[in-house]
Structure 1
């Protein structure tokens, strides 16, 4: 009886912490995200000297409260799964640990509390809450388009680098050291900054000829921005058209109609993206818990 109660207690805890399909699970994740955002805001405010001098004690206490809450949450995540080491070594497990320990380390080494900003990475959990994982399939298509375009983009970048070297050398000869173009590498740096339309303003041509060349480089920069976008867009369109032309089988049509992913997380291997009607984990075969 005691073993059954322990199992039910761990199961319920697992559902609350790792899943977002239940009201308590959603509430837990929302509270967690609010705490993460509050922690990040506290770190940002602490970096403002005037604010920190006035409210240092309040900020420090608030950070300790949030750190203790995250520590408790981290421990609960470990004890609510069967394979604790798998969670500890997982991506989220490492992020959870790294976002918790900086405050403790700051007791020994000063200045490390700024690392608490790592907690921003925990906001990735919002994908589970909003169930956005099912829409990330389109990102694979974009990644494929970029991969297919890598040769063309490499040639394009090489051509831009050559143009920057040529224009940079010309500007060095035209402007000279007296106008800030002290050497060819610095002139190439100016050309790259101008081509990308960043324009820091730390170096500027002074002669009429130099200003004319700079004008041409700026205009060229706008055209250069559009080239990689066009290359990737063409590959993306090509990939979309090829996918659209592929005829789906009757079985695939039925799968598209019925597959609805939920946020259920396997208590054994922490696998996610299960179907709503799934009884067992698609990765390890462990039985999933349902209300």
Structure 2
């Protein structure tokens, strides 16, 4: 009887933490989202010296409350799965750990000599923004589109690097050291800045030929910006079309998470995990 109660308790907690199909699960996700956004705002506010000096105690207490909440969440996620190491060493597990430990580490280090280290450790809290990724369902399509187009993008970037090296070398020969193009690496740097339409203005061609070449590079820059956008957009559209035409026999996917292997995207009314075969619901 005790084992059954323990099992039911863990199952219920797992449903609340890992799933969003129940009212309790939705409430948990909303509270966690608010805490994540609040923690990011706290990090930003602490970096403003005037605000930190005036409200330091309030900011510190608020940060401790959020850190404790994240600690409870992290521990709960570990104890509600049968294979904790899979969660601990997963992307979300590492992000959750980075979101929790900086405040505790700051207690260990003391003294004036550790202030520089503490400042860097406190900045680790900004990784909490990555916790938002698990709540952005549409981001999965974007990730798949980026993966599908990575080969094309890499070839494109390689071509851009070649163009920058060639153009930078030409500008070095045309303009020379007297006009600021003191060496080829610096000339390549100028070319990359110009291609990306950033234009810092720290180096500028002075000769008519150099200005003509620079004009061509600037116009080329607009085309270069459009290419990777078009590649990813085409793949993203293809992903959406694939999802919009499901098979008639395919059921909708939900937020059910396997308590054994943490796999998600199971079909509605599924009783067993499609990945490991573990039972999903008590029947």
Tell me by how many angstroms 1:137 deviates: 5.8
Tell me by how many angstroms 1:25 deviates: 0.4
Map of 1:52 onto structure 2: 52
Candidates 253, 262, 268, aligned match of 2:247: 253
Map of 1:93 onto structure 2: 93
The aligned length equals 272
Map of 1:122 onto structure 2: 131
Distance 1:180 1:158 in 2: 26
Root mean square deviation of aligned Cα: 3.1
Distance 1:159 1:82 in 2: 48
Structure 1 unmatched runs, 5+:
none
Distance 2:142 2:128 in 1: 27
Map of 1:280 onto structure 2: 272
Map of 2:254 onto structure 1: 262
Distance 1:61 1:277 in 2: 44
Contact 2:95–2:130 (CA<8 Å) still a contact in 1?
yes
Distance 2:160 2:83 in 1: 51
Map of 1:202 onto structure 2: 202
Question: Structure 1 11/232 Cα, relative in aligned 2: closer, same or farther at 3 Å?
Answer: closer
Map of 1:188 onto structure 2: 188
Tell me by how many angstroms 1:22 deviates: 0.2
Contact 1:39–1:63 (CA<8 Å) still a contact in 2?
yes
Distance 1:60 1:278 in 2: 45
Distance 2:182 2:52 in 1: 43
Distance 2:224 2:194 in 1: 11
Contact 1:100–1:116 (CA<8 Å) still a contact in 2?
yes
Contact 1:174–1:210 (CA<8 Å) still a contact in 2?
yes
Structure 2 unmatched runs, 5+:
110-117
Question: Structure 1 181/232 Cα, relative in aligned 2: closer, same or farther at 3 Å?
Answer: same
Question: Structure 1 234/14 Cα, relative in aligned 2: closer, same or farther at 3 Å?
Answer: closer
Contact 2:82–2:259 (CA<8 Å) still a contact in 1?
yes
Question: Structure 1 116/218 Cα, relative in aligned 2: closer, same or farther at 3 Å?
Answer: same
Within a 5 Å distance, the mapping from 1:23-62 to structure 2 comes to 23-62=23-62
Distance 1:158 1:76 in 2: 46
Output the TM-score relative to the length of structure 2: 0.82
Map of 2:80 onto structure 1: 80
Question: Structure 1 206/123 Cα, relative in aligned 2: closer, same or farther at 3 Å?
Answer: same
Distance 1:100 1:85 in 2: 17
Distance 1:12 1:270 in 2: 15
Distance 1:137 1:228 in 2: 17
Question: Structure 1 185/88 Cα, relative in aligned 2: closer, same or farther at 3 Å?
Answer: closer
Output the TM-score relative to the length of structure 1: 0.80
Distance 1:166 1:269 in 2: 51
Distance 1:235 1:140 in 2: 8
Question: Structure 1 162/125 Cα, relative in aligned 2: closer, same or farther at 3 Å?
Answer: closer
Question: Structure 1 270/104 Cα, relative in aligned 2: closer, same or farther at 3 Å?
Answer: same
Distance 1:270 1:234 in 2: 31
